[in-house]
Amino acid sequence: MLIRSRRFRTVGALTAAVAALSGCGAKEVSASAVEQSVRDGMATQGVEMQSVSCPTGVAADIDATVVCAVEFWDEDALGEPVDRVRVVVTSVDGDKVRYRLEPLAVGVPDDAEATPDDAEATS
């Protein structure tokens, strides 16, 4: 789904992504692991990414988020230009963290609310 205005609208589904916690006792998925999971999640939808850059990792806590800057080879790959993907943790099971990916259309605030039909991802 693309979050494109004050009200979210799903224009494309994203698959779940899964990442493992880094190191013993870790409580965060590293930025590099989140970036790879975003790439993998988009690739399963046939969308190739030019770049993904997350400022930090994401805490292994339900509803924890990080917003990553993204560039696609085809800027309309998701139906309209997207410049960020919000990663939201949906579950934690041992060292596996699942999250959903919420593409944010250009101009949409990082903290805009998502609709219930957002696709889930696992990391």
Range of the domain at 76: 17-108
pLDDT tens, position by position, 63-115 = 999 999 999 998 888 888 889 999 999 888 888 888 888 888 888 878 777 65
> Domain for residue 9, yes or no?
no
Place of tokens 């696709």: 119
Q: How confident is the model at residue 13 (pLDDT cuts 50, 70, 90)?
A: very low
Alpha-carbon distance of 116 to 69, in angstroms, equals: 23
> Domain for residue 65, yes or no?
yes
> Domain for residue 77, yes or no?
yes
Residue 67 · residue 84 · CB < 8 Å: yes
> Domain for residue 99, yes or no?
yes
The total number of structural domains that make up the chain: 1
> Domain for residue 23, yes or no?
yes
pLDDT at 70: 94
> Domain for residue 98, yes or no?
yes
> Domain for residue 81, yes or no?
yes
pLDDT tens, position by position, 36-76 = 999 988 888 888 899 999 999 999 999 999 999 999 998 88
Which residues have C-beta within 8 Å of that of residue 85, sequence separation ≥ 6? 38, 52, 67, 68, 70, 101, 102, 103, 104
Residue 87 · residue 101 · CB < 8 Å: yes
